[in-house]
Chain A
Amino acid sequence: MFGGLDLYGTSMTPRSRPDREPQDPTTARRHWLAVLARAPRERLEAAIAAIDPAPAWSRLRGPEIGMVMVRGRTGGDGAPFNLGEMTVTRCTVALPCGSVGHAYIAGRDHRRAELAALCDALLQTSLFARLNAAFVEVEARRQAEARLEARRRAAATRVEFHTLARMG
């Protein structure tokens, strides 16, 4: 429905590290969009609720559910192939000041998509510094820790296979 969104394919550039200050605005926005797309709904609710005065916004599109084709790459030459479709919810909102925020999230949580889009719109306004420090940075760190933890648990179960060279 949303066309071939290249989630893990050729267009993916290395994710910017949360501990490093992103340089140009596109890099910065890519970083917070990635964090918002993975943020759980309760945390997004809490981040928005903490903003005073409460922001007003209107929906430009959605939230609506659709499918995107996830592409992978084969080993070696890296030729792209279609891995399969995943469910995605997208939403676009606008603030009264004209700032437009987008969100594409995995799954079918309408509210989460709308809040993520709202955060994206707010991060493009003068609220950036506050919202970034209070929410994006914290959430990025939490997600990095969760990733590390998952990797640690997986690494603990690693089995090394050795191939014996045949003699003669």
Chain B
Amino acid sequence: MLRRGFADPVHEAQAAFRALLEATAQPGTLVRLPEPETPPPLAPAAAAIALALCDAETPLWLSAALATEPVRTWLRFHVGSSLVADPQAAAFAFAAGDEAPFERLAIGTDEAPERSSTLVLTVSAFGEGTALRLAGPGVETETVVAVAGVGTSFVAWRARNHALYPRGVDVLLVAGDRAMALPRTTLIREV
């Protein structure tokens, strides 16, 4: 059955946008997003990101585990985005753990680096699991965050992604109703 989106569409979308702005400005910061009624297995925070940032002009890509009929129907109705089969064509790619199509995402061009995909990666939890040391713009010296279920090839891919600057993929990690941004400028090393 089709569920509703945000209870208060205008204010909750604005609150989600503001929180994501905060998260992106300070990589490694955990923010809590307003919770829409979400069709499983889409994480509430991933759904909030779709509602706040996506519309008919942002093609979406879903990984196999997320591309269930309830999720597709919900996204088509509330977000109005087209769902594409090729992650290269997607403005936002939603995936869980190891399913992320790291090397197949759009990285933009030197003239238009903003035309890259944003990866919304669902992880199992924050505060446990792999410890990551973050450095770069928005982080004063360095900060350590722990993320569980980020996928085995994530750190190695991020190093390659970092070297592409100004091109590259921005990442939003989500678990439950919480999100953390790891923009392309953030240097990640495993502790």
Please determine whether A94 and B56 come into contact, CB atoms closer than 8 angstroms: no
Complex: A59 Cα to B78 Cα, angstroms? 13
- Residue of B4, B9, B56 ringed by the most chain A CB atoms within 10 A: B4
**B interface secondary structure, majority:** loop
Complex interface residues of chain B between 143 and 175 (CB less than 8 A to chain A): none
Please determine whether A94 and B1 come into contact, CB atoms closer than 8 angstroms: yes
Distance from B73 Cβ to chain A, minimum over Cβ atoms (Å): 10
Complex: A61 Cα to B5 Cα, angstroms? 7
B74 (CB) vs chain A CBs: closest residue? A60
Please determine whether B1 and A61 come into contact, CB atoms closer than 8 angstroms: no
Distance from A69 Cβ to chain B, minimum over Cβ atoms (Å): 14
Q: Which residues of A contact B56 (CB under 8 A)?
A: 3
Complex: A58 Cα to B3 Cα, angstroms? 9
A64 (CB) vs chain B CBs: closest residue? B9
User: Is B2 interfacial (CB 8 A cutoff)?
Assistant: yes
User: Is A122 interfacial (CB 8 A cutoff)?
Assistant: no
Distance from A112 Cβ to chain B, minimum over Cβ atoms (Å): 20
Complex interface residues of chain A between 44 and 77 (CB less than 8 A to chain B): 58-61, 64
A92 (CB) vs chain B CBs: closest residue? B77
Complex: A98 Cα to B56 Cα, angstroms? 25
Nearest 5 Cβ contacts at the A-B interface: A98-B1, A60-B4, A100-B2, A60-B2, A94-B2
Complex interface residues of chain B between 23 and 52 (CB less than 8 A to chain A): none
Q: Which residues of B contact A98 (CB under 8 A)?
A: 1-2
Complex: A3 Cα to B56 Cα, angstroms? 9
